[in-house]
Amino acid sequence: MTLDVRDVPEGTQVANGIAGEVDVRLLDLTDHDTIRSFIRDWDTPLDILINNAGVMATPETYTDLGWELQFATNHLGHFALALGLHDALAAAGNARIVSVSSSALFASPVIFDDLHFRYRNYDKWEAYGQSKTANVLFAVEATKRWADDGITANSLMPGAIATNLQRHTGGEQTPPEKRKTVEQGASTSVLLATSPLLEGI
């Protein structure tokens, strides 16, 4: 298992709490140099790619390339990573991609004419929703284009999870008693990534 993280020391601390051998590698989805470096260094078949990095409801922020931060992180970075790892996924023979979306996708479709809020007023929830809609559309299109390569992709909504994400963003207004634990939230991704019931679906 490989954890791709922006903060290697923090990622290593998390890895130490996971059973089995866990490799920790630097990857910042808003920094395409780290994406290219990660792809270049990957040299084995890849059975499962879980796209679950994300930011939520951030203030209006743009990357060095001028991309709106949430769309850049939640979709464009994952897209570049999956595209770059296509050959490794195909080499596995029966690979799965799991993209973590959200019910917030109902807040906005992908506004192809203005992905980065250059011509409309910025709204943090519309920006988040657009990025989560893009996660779903990516899963649909990746499966359509890559099925013959033995790659299937799915997207999921894990539910409201009790993490520090809400604390940092003022996040979703789900009462604490209705939030899932991190383990419960992760179980949906694990199901999509590993269950024989979803073979080829």
pLDDT of residue 164: 63
Q: Taking residues 32-46, what's their average pLDDT?
A: 96
Q: How far apart are CA 92 and CA 152, in angstroms?
A: 12
Q: Taking residues 79-93, what's their average pLDDT?
A: 97
Phi (first) and psi of residue 85, to 5 degrees: -95, 10
pTM comes to 0.90
More confident residue, 173 or 121: 121
**Percent of the chain having pLDDT more than 70?**
92
pLDDT of residue 175: 67
pLDDT at 169 over 50: no
pLDDT-based confidence at residue 201 (cuts at 50, 70, 90):
confident
**Percent of the chain having pLDDT more than 90?**
77
Is 128 among the residues known to form the active site?
A: yes
Q: What is the pLDDT of residues 118-153, one digit of tens each?
A: 999 999 999 999 999 999 999 999 999 999 999 999
> Per-residue DSSP letters for the chain?
-EEEES-HHHHHHHHTTSSS--EEEE--TT-HHHHHHHHHH--S--SEEEE-----S--S-B-TTS-BHHHIIIIIIHHHHHHHTHHHHHHHSSEEEEEE--GGGGG----GGGTT-SSS---HHHHHHHHHHHHHHHHHHHHHHHGGGTEEEEEE----B-STHHHHHT-----GGGPBPHHHHHHHHHHHHH-GGGTT-
